[in-house]
Amino acid sequence: MIGKAKWKTLLRFLLLTLLTDHSMCESVSEVPEILEMAEEVLEAEGDHIKGDTDEGPDMEDMWIHYALLDLAYYLRSHKFNEYDRRYITDEEKAVKEYYKRFPEPPLRTFQWEVHKRCSLGFIECLKYSTEITNVALLQKDADPYYIARKKGWTYSRNRDEIARTNTECQRLFKEDWESPVPFVGPIHRFQWRTTMSYYMCLFTLREHPDLSLFGEPCNNYANCWMDGKPDGLSDPRADDRVPFNCARFSFCPDPCCPIKEISSFKDCDKDRSNPCPVDIHNRTCVLEVQKNFNLQSMAKNHWNLTCHCKEKGTRWESRFGLCVDINECEEGHHNCSEGFETCLNLKGSYRCCCAFGYYWNSNNGSCDPMQSIIDRVNEATLIQRPDKSELRKGGHRKHLKKLFFWQRKQEETTEATILKANSHGSSILSPSLPFCFILLISVCNLILTGSDSSVTS
């Protein structure tokens, strides 16, 4: 048995070195030091990963496939069995809940080697991972669940064989747990597997094509636990027939449904741990891939989830854990006409007001330019110079005086409006409301002063 496994490992290494030499052409010339740069590399990656191999694409795929399955097993072992090695020394008291969320607080720094290799892209990351998974004491191929599958054993007919492999697996599990080869110690491995999970989960949510289907079940906790469930878990999240299910089940926590095992998705909807509002009929929580793209946010468990909201015009905001009003104006989801209308956000909806210099013409239901304001603006900018005869009669002075008072009045009204708005406290709720007030009042004021002056002069 052991000899075979060693051969296999050796073969894999050989294959790996061969492949490494061939695909060096796509390497990145500099090692990015900071995360932002890593993100950029990851961003650009998707395009050249596949399709540019002129030789043996099948061999490459096969290698990726095996490396991936091994890593998935290794990280599931972390997700379902590990506890926070940084703070907890007594395993008895430890909670093992990384199926709920990534460790909190997050790692202060990413494990440097994982970060260095995985920030170069998916393939580099996977190549590096095999250096660890190939020497780990407990590997996927020693799990009775996989052995039984490969040999076509059934629980009823091969009870003894299964029991024997089970015992051997448990022994390896214990040994691996106590001396985590090739790491310095459990904390070192904790950091490694946590960082690796961050990266692999990111690749999963970015839907790297190699992660789509595993081609074999992943419905186990990677802990040799065959006793109760010889056929594996019946958790629908571990159903490999759905793309990315196994990758998610192995690499990502499930903040939408932080339950270790479910038998159907209905279990999530009913459960108290479901983050969606309780007072709503449809509590389907969705972790949308396109809204979860940032490595650091993921590490901090700043997941962006989608829930249904009861009230119209509101949306679930994961940051607050609440349904909040959608600001249609800010997001541009309004149909106010550009130029002569402005958008006013209201609770649950919005309204279009006439923009500055326009008035609501109820005859034809549109905002029309206000001629008197256009005249005022022309006056204010002194486009028309007063002619000499008017200057002599003191017309110029009169004109400036008028302008001065008009401007003073403007400032006073604006100040008064701001004070009023502040004392009502409404500006906190909706900053655009007092603004609209100011506009309205200034428009009214303009009309009034406009008609006044036309009477006096």
In the complex, the residues that contact ligand NAG under the rule CB under 6 A are: 282, 284, 286, 291-294, 297-298, 302-304, 308, 335, 361, 363-364, 366, 368
CB closer to ligand NAG out of 191 and 304: 304
CB closer to ligand NAG out of 206 and 396: 206
At its nearest, how many Å lie between ligand NAG and the CB of residue 223?
Answer: 28
CB closer to ligand NAG out of 258 and 386: 258
Between CA 78 and CA 81 the distance in angstroms is 5
Amino acid (one-letter) located at 254: D
Residue 358, classed as helix, strand or coil, is strand
Q: What is the number of other CB atoms lying within 10 angstroms of the CB of residue 220? A: 24
106: left (phi over 0), alpha (psi -120 to 50) or beta: beta
At its nearest, how many Å lie between ligand NAG and the CB of residue 205?
Answer: 8
Instruction: Please give the angle made by the CA atoms of 16, 20 and 24, to the nearest 5 degrees.
Output: 170
CB 169 within 8 A of CB 142: yes
What pairs with residue 284 in β-bridges? none
At its nearest, how many Å lie between ligand NAG and the CB of residue 299?
Answer: 9
At its nearest, how many Å lie between ligand NAG and the CB of residue 342?
Answer: 14
At its nearest, how many Å lie between ligand NAG and the CB of residue 278?
Answer: 15
What pairs with residue 367 in β-bridges? 360
CB 110 within 8 A of CB 33: no
DSSP secondary structure, 261-285, as one string: --SSTHHHHHSTT--S-TTSS----
Q: Is the four-CA dihedral 32, 40, 300, 131 of positive or negative sign?
A: negative
Q: What is the CA radius of gyration of the chain?
A: 33
In 3D, which of 131, 152, 121, 113 has the Cα closest to residue 23? 121
CB closer to ligand NAG out of 291 and 315: 291
At its nearest, how many Å lie between ligand NAG and the CB of residue 335?
Answer: 4
At its nearest, how many Å lie between ligand NAG and the CB of residue 279?
Answer: 15
At its nearest, how many Å lie between ligand NAG and the CB of residue 246?
Answer: 21
Between CA 182 and CA 319 the distance in angstroms is 39
CB closer to ligand NAG out of 294 and 372: 294
CB closer to ligand NAG out of 162 and 201: 201
DSSP state at residue 366: E
At its nearest, how many Å lie between ligand NAG and the CB of residue 307?
Answer: 8
CB closer to ligand NAG out of 203 and 303: 303
CB closer to ligand NAG out of 172 and 286: 286
Work out the end-to-end distance of the chain between its first and last CA atoms, rounded to an integer number of angstroms. 108
Between CA 23 and CA 25 the distance in angstroms is 5
CB closer to ligand NAG out of 118 and 142: 118
CB closer to ligand NAG out of 364 and 457: 364
What token pair was written down for 3? 């000899």
Instruction: Please give the angle made by the CA atoms of 115, 119 and 123, to the nearest 5 degrees.
Output: 110
CB 343 within 8 A of CB 333: no
CB 201 within 8 A of CB 296: no
At its nearest, how many Å lie between ligand NAG and the CB of residue 252?
Answer: 11
Between CA 198 and CA 187 the distance in angstroms is 17
